[in-house]
Structure 1
Amino acid sequence: MAGSRNDRWVPVGRIGAAHGVRGWVRVRSFTEPQQNIGRYRPWRLSRGEDMREVDVVEIRPHGKGFVARLKEVGDRNAAEALTGMDVLVNRDQFEPPGDGQYYWDDLIGLQVSTVDGRELGEVVRLLETGANDVLVVSGDRQRLIPFVVGSAIVSVDLDGQRILVDWDPEF
């Protein structure tokens, strides 16, 4: 995690199936609120080693997600080739989070320890449960820790790359 976190491309969505015959694609947004995905430009689409920058001509709500028209995609076959690609944007486009708020991307990779000094492992991902977000911590075993600042989460030190938790290590 060396260097500035703001010089990175981070996932904000995923391309779904083709939509129609003129090159539109369905898009699932990972942003909160979901419509924020339409604010970011340019997009980089990524799948494994395949990475390409695309220009978003138009994006609009459709069902539970969005549909987008990309300048470089003119027909259904080209749109189908993008299915499953991640939508990445440069991190420097994000608004700073409010006090006590964090982007998931900032939490992944942080080390987690208890208030009594026991190392629990590293945050490998987060889950959205509806009630609150949950850290998935991988160490000697996997743990699910609710991300509730002031309760289970005592402190988050992004510079020190550490989260301090009030959590029973056996739970």
Structure 2
Amino acid sequence: MKDLLVSIARVKGPRGLKGQIWLRPYGDSFEQFKHYKYIMVGKDHRPLEVVHCQQKGNMYIVELKGLNTREQVDSIKGEEVFIKKEWLPPLEDDEYYWCDLIGMQVFDLEGTYLGDLLNIFRTGSNDVYVVNKEKEYLIPATVDVVKEVSIKESKMIIDTAPLEGLME
């Protein structure tokens, strides 16, 4: 069975002439990113050893073994960066990885199916869940809205009362 892979970043492009790359991590992977010894790049999930990793703002400058020129980095520009899910550190209660939330069925407090959670994006104050059935809804990931998350059942329950006017 193939290991479950998680997309954690995207290659933004080369930095300099000697094969360093700019990576933009997804989600909250900033702190843990620098601890990965290997990452996998592109559709073929080619494993590459991380030689050096340095955070610069909301991005990373990464040096990978085997990438020595700007042209080599240009060939993977825009590619997704993956790790094995088992490499992710454990989370606290009520914390979730985006990869566990995407695809969940979302219901209101009365049990009405609202749609599937298709995407997540970060805003300044909280994440926003994109839920779609026949219509697309943007659901703020706040404690007054998200009432229950079950990874095991792939199900989320939200309170739509704080979203009055947004769910029509």
What TM-score results when the alignment is normalised by the length of structure 2?
A: 0.88
- Quote the Cα distance in structure 1 between the aligned partners of 2:49 and 2:29: 22
Q: Give the Cα separation in 2 of the matches to 1:12 and 1:80.
A: 19
Displacement of 1:98 in angstroms is 0.8
Query: Which residue pairs with 1:56 in the alignment?
Result: 50
The one-letter code matched in structure 2 to 1:170 is M
The amino acid that maps onto 1:154 is K
SS in structure 1 opposite 2:167? coil
Please say if 1:69 is aligned against 2:80.
no
- After superposition, the Cα gap between the structure-2 partners of 1:94 and 1:63, relative to the gap in structure 1 and judged at 3 Å, is closer
Q: 1:155 to 1:56 in 2, by over 3 A?
A: same
Aligned to 2:152, what secondary structure does the other structure show?
Answer: coil
Deviations 1:53-80 (A, max 9, x none): 1111111123542211111111111111
Indicate whether 1:121 and 2:115 are aligned.
yes
Partner letter of residue 134 of structure 1? V
Q: Which runs of 5+ in 1 are unaligned?
A: none
The residue that corresponds to 1:142 in the other structure is 136
Q: Which residue of 2 aligns with 1:21?
A: 17
Deviations 1:101-135 (A, max 9, x none): 11111110000011112110100011111111111
For the residues of structure 2 that align with 1:170 and 1:104, how far apart are their CA atoms?
A: 23
- The equivalent residue for 1:104 is 98
For 2:167, the equivalent position in structure 1 comes to: 170
C-alpha distance in 2, partners of 1:41/1:34? 15
In the alignment, does 2:72 pair up with 1:78?
yes
Following the alignment from structure 2 to structure 1, what is the Cα–Cα distance between the partners of residues 57 and 140? Answer: 30
Aligned pair count?
163
**How far apart are residue 143 of structure 1 and its match?**
0.5
Which one-letter code corresponds to 1:8 in the other structure?
Answer: L
> Which residue identity does 1:82 align to in structure 2?
I
TM superposition score normalised by structure 1: 0.87
Equivalent position to 1:10, from 6, 24, 36: 6
Corresponding residue of 1:37: 33
Q: Which runs of 5+ in 2 are unaligned?
A: none
- Structure 1 residue matching 2:47: 3-state secondary structure: strand
